[in-house]
Chains A and B, each alone.
Chain A
Amino acid sequence: MTRKQRRLSLIGVAGCVLAVALGLVLYAMNDTIVFFNSPADIQAKNVQPGTRIRLGGLVKEGSVQRGSDQQITFEVMDAQAAIQVSYKGLLPDLFREGQGIVAEGVLESPRVFRADSVLAKHDENYMPREVADTLKKQGHWMGEANAAPKTQ
């Protein structure tokens, strides 16, 4: 084999691996990506039931109901809409009424969302960024300083 042939074979193998990787990435992009929506987005974009989404918003005051066997329902709202969320499992430590959360799961109907994971913040002073952006856009943002007096 000459140097040129070796180089060509190397480029060929590299091209094949890269092509496979590109194919995998493009395919996975179609299938596995999850869009973030606020309750208002779900109505505005007319998200179809059965779609997997991330839902972000504030937990509505007084809406948390604990059933038997760790079955929990609550409402997630933004300034314009609210949606009912059902979840089975342990809630994160910083899950509280009136605070921002992000839940991932499947939209069952336009009004009901079944979450399989619920994330709250890691830090007392902190609001999930997506939720903060949504509230800012809707003009209901009071700034992190108001949300938590101890700004870091």
Chain B
Amino acid sequence: MLVEAGHFALALALGLSLIQFIVPLWGARANDPVLMAVAPAGALAVLACIAFSFVALTFAYLNSDFSVLNVVQNSHSAKPLIYKISGVWGNHEGSMLLWVLILALFGGVVALARDSVPMRLQANTLAVQAAITIAFLLFILTTSNPFTRVLPAPMEGQDLNPLLQDPGLAIHPPLLYIGYVGFSISFAFACAALIDGRIDAVWARIVRPWTLGAWAFLTLGIAMGSYWAYYELGWGGWWFWDPVENASLMPWLAGTALVHSTVVMEKRDALKVWTILLAILTFSLSLLGTFLVRSGVLTSVHSFAVDPERGTFILGILILFIGGSLTLFAWRAPMLKQGGLFAPVSREGALVLNNLFLATACATVFIGTLYPLALEVLTGEKISVGAPFFNFTFLPLIVPLLLLLPLGQTLAWKRGNFLGTAQRLYAVFGVAILASLAMLAFQHGGPVAAPLGIGLGIYLVLGSLNEIVTRSWSRGTPLSVAWRKARGLPRSTWGAAIAHAGVGLTVIGIAATAWGVETIGSVRPGERLSAGDYEVRLERVIPRVEANYRDDVAILTVFGSGRELGTIETMKRLYVTRGMPTTEAGIMTVGLGQVYASIGEVQADGSIGMRLYYKPLVLLIWIGSLVMAAGGGLSLTDRRLRIAAPARAKAVPPSAVPAE
């Protein structure tokens, strides 16, 4: 019953979304507050329906209800509880349901933020949001229904794809979707502004926290996915320039540009048209990512099922929303008034450069990702565009951006002084260059680019902190005063500095991969294999049986420079239901680096193939991303206070009354 109720709630949500789409749009046009007020109510009702539907599916998974096709195909009664829950979105239908759930969740939050968003803007925004919900609900109900029954119900399910039976599945997709779908709010706000034909700094101030929040989640989602691939796939790589990864990188690049351009708009009332366009493009790229991953045009661990009908449907949604919003843009954008002036050398100018480089880098990733698809459709020729292409095109565009970053952060608004700014950074330059030279002098082999990369990372970290220091301390200021001043700086300043320092940490981590060591060999129990200064000894291989898989566990003792550091386990795992083997890597973290071992098959002579890596500073790649997201989050707390400010002023008198 609950399953049917879930299905019905989804259909009900579709009907309510239609109301949420049409009525407020009309209300905003007729300036009727009653009709406009339908928008928040509708958004909350849609959220309730979709949430109920999601809970119904989750219950089917928890109870291992094998009369539901989706549960049969992706679950098993012996599966651990966490994978029964995360298995809900570990398949095509369920993950699309999660997608609309998050979409509705954002709609609900906008509906609740009624004090901070002007009514007209809110009505139009929620109407656009409802249009997206309608499209995806139709998609789910017609092509990807998670509630389809199967008769007779099988006794046992087919289990979840073993690669997905990992805590990563519980974390990575929700984070990534919150990021992807979060940009739909910026998109809806942009379309609402275009429908209304009006846009100003207030708009930017309202939109910025949404964009920043979505960006922070997308950053976490991508970083989490990268770490998951790193330890699960057993190749020790953390970024493969795989089209599916690029599909998430493109909205991230555009979203990063958007976060920066809304700053200009908020502070200086400039770059309006560009910001609107960027908001549209960012969500369009999120939709494109959904299409690439969900339609089956790409083959990867993410494409659960290949069904041409689904691909065509999502392509239709893609064309409708991208085409529609761009048409709206072309029609309405000329009506928007241009804002503040600024000199080329200024904070605004630097942020324009930032947008230029990010947008161009995004375009090269776009070309590299879609060119093979286009070529295959047009000529039938199959090609692959891999890491060499992206390293060659993407890096030359990102490195100048990173070099400019601390400079831009230090420049004054409106009109800056380049020489003065450079002087404030000379100490940072000096330290970074010294660090590069020291690395160059001491490194044994390895490419020249690596020490330069380390230097760049140090320059970014120190340059970001320099901003805080120079704003709170000058020669002769006592430290206690400087500390108080630094604490008094706006949280957005701290947030920006921290996020930029995070970029520096990630750059250091990436540069240090050049000194990674990889060894492949065969070992027998008691024998050793070494990678750089690290060595492992295979102690023994023991079998182990768990609920839904069997392991052959290789126990390894790790030595660092001859000293024993501890043991790690790496295993060959066989998932019984699907008969599918996987490799689980054994990882030991040493400082910020990792010793990483994975085993292959048992050879004819009884030895085991083993791959051993030592990866110095590799954790910095993900720590840097976490720091970036934390910076975004910190900045968000600042903004939220500011947005609530007018509402709080209004709320003061009534709250004073009951206090008595």
Q: Which residues of A contact B (CB under 8 A)?
A: 1, 3, 6, 9-10, 13-14, 17-18, 20-21, 24-25, 27-29, 31-36, 54, 66, 68-70, 88-91, 93-94, 104, 122-124, 126, 128-130, 133, 150, 152
Given A20-B397, A69-B522, 5 extra CB contacts under 8 A? A13-B353, A17-B397, A25-B364, A32-B392, A130-B382
Please pick, from A3, A17, A123, the residue contacting B341 in the complex, using a CB distance under 8 A: A3
Q: B659 on the interface (CB 8 Å rule)?
A: no
Contact A32 B385 (CB under 8 A): yes
Shortest Cβ distance from residue B318 to the other chain A in the assembled complex, whole angstroms: 21
A-B contact pairs, 22 of them (CB 8 A): A6-B344, A10-B352, A17-B357, A21-B361, A24-B397, A29-B389, A31-B388, A32-B385, A33-B383, A36-B382, A36-B384, A69-B522, A70-B521, A90-B611, A91-B600, A91-B601, A93-B572, A93-B582, A122-B163, A123-B161, A123-B163, A129-B299
Shortest Cβ distance from residue B266 to the other chain A in the assembled complex, whole angstroms: 20
Residue of A14, A54, A122, A126 contacting most chain B CB atoms (<10 Å): A122
**Would you call the interface of chain B mostly helix, strand, loop, or mixed?**
mixed
The 5 lowest CB-CB distance pairs between A and B, nearest first, are: A36-B382, A90-B600, A32-B388, A122-B301, A32-B389
Contact B580 A124 (CB under 8 A): yes
Shortest Cβ distance from residue B463 to the other chain A in the assembled complex, whole angstroms: 22
Q: B381 on the interface (CB 8 Å rule)?
A: yes
Of all chain A residues, which has the CB nearest B578?
A124
Contacts of A27 in B (CB 8 A): 392
Contacts of B389 in A (CB 8 A): 28-29, 32-33
Contact B520 A21 (CB under 8 A): no
Shortest Cβ distance from residue A28 to the other chain B in the assembled complex, whole angstroms: 4
Q: B304 on the interface (CB 8 Å rule)?
A: yes
A27–B383 alpha-carbon span in the complex (Å): 16
> Which of the four size classes fits the interface of chain B?
35 or more
Number of CB contacts from chain A to chain B under 8 A = 119
Of all chain A residues, which has the CB nearest B384?
A34
The contact string, 1 if C-beta is below 8 Å from chain A, for chain B 567-610, is: 00000100000111111000000000000001111011000011
Q: B360 on the interface (CB 8 Å rule)?
A: yes
Contact B598 A90 (CB under 8 A): yes
Please pick, from B304, B522, B581, the residue contacting A152 in the complex, using a CB distance under 8 A: B304
A96–B616 alpha-carbon span in the complex (Å): 34
A129–B384 alpha-carbon span in the complex (Å): 13
Contact A89 B382 (CB under 8 A): no
Q: B363 on the interface (CB 8 Å rule)?
A: yes
Residue of B163, B300, B384 contacting most chain A CB atoms (<10 Å): B384
Known: A21-B397, A69-B521, A150-B158. A34 touches B386 (CB 8 A): yes
Q: B448 on the interface (CB 8 Å rule)?
A: no
Of all chain A residues, which has the CB nearest B73?
A152
Shortest Cβ distance from residue B102 to the other chain A in the assembled complex, whole angstroms: 24
